[in-house]
Amino acid sequence: MTKSKIAAVSINTTPLDVLGNFETIRRAILSKDSQDADLILFPELSISGYGCEDAFYRPNLWEKCLQVLHQLKTNSPNQVIVVGLPVFVDAFLYNCMAVLYDGKIQAFVPKLNLANTGVHYEKRWFHAPNGFQTKQVRVDGEVVPFGHFVFSFRDFRFAIEICEDSWASMKPSETYNVNGTDVILSPGASHFAMGKQNIRRQIFQETSRNQNNLQVFTNLCGNESGRIIFEGGAFFASCGNVVKEGPRLHFTPFEVTSLSFDPNEIRASKARNFREPNPNFVPNQLPTLEFNPNKQVTNGNGRLKVHDKREMGIDASIENKEALSPFEEFTKAVCLGLYDYLRKSKTKGYTLSLSGGADSATCALLVSCMAEMARKENGKDNLTKQGISDKNLLVTLYQKTKNNSQITEEIAKTLSEELDCEFHSISIDEMVSSSVSLIESVTGTKLNWQEHDLALQNIQARVRSPLIWLLANLNGHLLLSTGNRSEAAVGYTTMDGDSSGSIAPLAGVSKEFLLDLLDDIQKGNNRYITPKHSIQLLRETKPTAELKPLAEHQEDEKDLMPYPILNSIERKLVYLGVNESEVLEGLKSEFPWETKEQLLAYIQKFKKLFGISQWKRERLPPSFHLDDYGLDPKSSYRFPILSNET
């Protein structure tokens, strides 16, 4: 039997940019890696963009997507093209994949299981049918099958389950498989979280083993709409093995991963290993839509990549050969997020208040690393073509007061020199004193550290904000906010001060993780960031806000609690929803050197600070979702602004 070839395309889309997304899709179809494919699979909602939010309600968006679809259907009539878009049918809006062939829309396949947990809120916009659908709808005068089908094309049969369908406990593919499907296509918009690709591999590998078929997964890539990063990483899993995997977290507009396969090998495995499920399983008889080409397919001039040589075995191109550590995953994901944020917002760079601490240092390292990755993947002149000056990409400012130590200024200056970025240092003592004097004249009260500690700390952070904003505006830059998830959890930030910014790239991970990241870099373990003398100096100091007089030796962990304990309490209470007594037992096991009374005090302190700090989290700049959970109220964790847990 002649082998068939499927191309899985990972693309970087922008919500509402229907024409821009169309151009990316068109280029991917015409690329040399797709030219001789029998079927080309694109991700979920790839025409509209996944993150359109409430703009999904706009009829003109659906109409634009259909206009693009009509252009795509004639783009490559000898190939099956599977592409995602919102489709309004009867009284409901559906998240659909369109199947195109022979210059026609062959079918619309709606998503059955809508993602509605974590960062996904699909049930807000889309309707999901209660079961398999088989009907016809009229679209622009064209009658199109709408529902769930087994498609027969040349020598193989395929079906489609969209993203969450593949993660559901009762997968649609179980029914498709019993009805003779060789290939299951799974187009996704599956967000990045550290380690999540391993879970995807496990799911599809095991499903392909259970069903004895070929599972094809493809995904969006990039910082699509601001908060969520997608990681690409298309792959093929056949009869229990991941046999081909494409690039993850790529900076390019699209990547094509292809596989040539023999359907008879799949059927032989099915005959040998697959038995009809029992008990009481009655498969739905799904209609089969057969494509009867009336013309010979031209294979074009496309050539198979070198990694197509071992079609059905474990392929050397699988990314396991360069498996990323969690710190490297974080590095590449945030760099991609920063690159897309810069590119899609059409700004000229980033400005950063560089304090000499771990958070701002990490932000600087990531911006520098982002530029290097962009040049490597998209060409040395990539940033220049976007009107971005390499020398002006990152501008840093150290704003010192009499409460700042000499070492933090040295760290900030040294790091800027090591990264070859613009650095400035100014004193803001006069502005702080002027602000304090003005309020003293109004209140008739002389402010002092014994009675007005918090106010005197916060005014320093707030005075810094307009200055760094002014510098960012002059540069035409986005302002980076340096806060992390641990600070967000307990409100350890000054609103309209250090919380100011356009984006908070670190707010999705804990302070403990960031400190471990810097240590990992210094050990030479991060392939993207090399060790730095400035980071060595930084890690020899204790994390501190430097807002109190130096004689008080202010430290973050003295103000709050040890960061590992804070991180553990946060995860248990917020993410896992564990009750207080169980949290205490867990902490006693993890931190046996702490007394029960002290651990209980830490728990009570965290609960109090978490509850009263939601208003701050509501006002923090947009952040990236990076871990298995986050605290961003828009994309991750919703909590009442006013509450009292008793």
Please enumerate, by residue number, every residue annotated as part of a binding site for ATP: 482
Please enumerate, by residue number, every residue annotated as part of a binding site for deamido-NAD(+): 458, 487, 616
The SS3 of residue 111 is coil
Q: How far apart are CA 344 and CA 518, in angstroms?
A: 29
- Token pair 């070839």 is found at 5
Q: What is the pLDDT of residue 299?
A: 36
**3-state secondary structure labels for all residues of 138-202:** EECCEEEEEECCEEEECCEEEEECCCHHHHCCCCHHHHHHHCCCCEEEEEECCECCCCHHHHHHH
Q: How far apart are CA 339 and CA 318, in angstroms?
A: 25
- Tell me which of 502 and 297 has the higher pLDDT: 502
Q: What is the pLDDT of residue 24?
A: 97
616: confidence class by pLDDT, cuts 50, 70, 90: very high
Q: What is the pLDDT of residue 298?
A: 38
Given 5, 73, 111, 344, the catalytic residue: 111
CATH number listed for the domain at residues 4-290: 3.60.110.10
Q: How far apart are CA 265 and CA 307, in angstroms?
A: 19
Tokens of 206: 């095991």
Please enumerate, by residue number, every residue annotated as part of a binding site for L-glutamine: 190, 196
Answer whether residue 636 shows pLDDT above 80. Answer: yes
111 catalytic, yes or no? yes
Average pLDDT over all residues of the chain: 92
374: confidence class by pLDDT, cuts 50, 70, 90: very high
CA 361 to chain centre: 22
| Mean pLDDT (whole number) for 634-642 | 89
Given 163, 221, 239, 369, the catalytic residue: 163
Q: What is the pLDDT of residue 75?
A: 86
Same fold, 4-290 and 326-556: no
Tokens of 69: 């679809």
Angle at Cα 341 formed by Cα 388 and Cα 632, nearest 5°?
Answer: 150
Answer whether residue 304 shows pLDDT above 60. Answer: no
| Mean pLDDT (whole number) for 511-532 | 97
- Token pair 């739905």 is found at 284
Alpha helices in 248-399 (DSSP H): 263-273, 326-345, 358-378, 382-385
- Token pair 């040294």 is found at 414
44 catalytic, yes or no? yes
Domain residue spans of the chain: 4-290, 326-556
> For 69-122, what is each residue's pLDDT tens digit?
999 999 888 999 999 999 999 999 999 999 999 999 999 999 999 999 888 999
How much of the chain, in percent, has pLDDT values that exceed 70? 94
> For 141-163, what is each residue's pLDDT tens digit?
889 999 999 999 999 999 999 99
pTM above 0.85, yes or no: yes
163 catalytic, yes or no? yes
> For 265-291, what is each residue's pLDDT tens digit?
999 999 999 887 766 555 556 888 888
**CA distances for 299 relative to 101, 156, 302, angstroms:** 15, 18, 7
What residue type is 629 in one-letter code? Y
| Mean pLDDT (whole number) for 518-539 | 97
Please enumerate, by residue number, every residue annotated as part of a binding site: 190, 196, 458, 482, 487, 616
Task: Assign domain 326-556 to its CATH architecture.
Answer: 3-Layer(aba) Sandwich (3.40)
**Cα torsion for 116, 120, 124, 126, to the nearest 10°?**
-80
Answer whether residue 301 shows pLDDT above 60. Answer: no
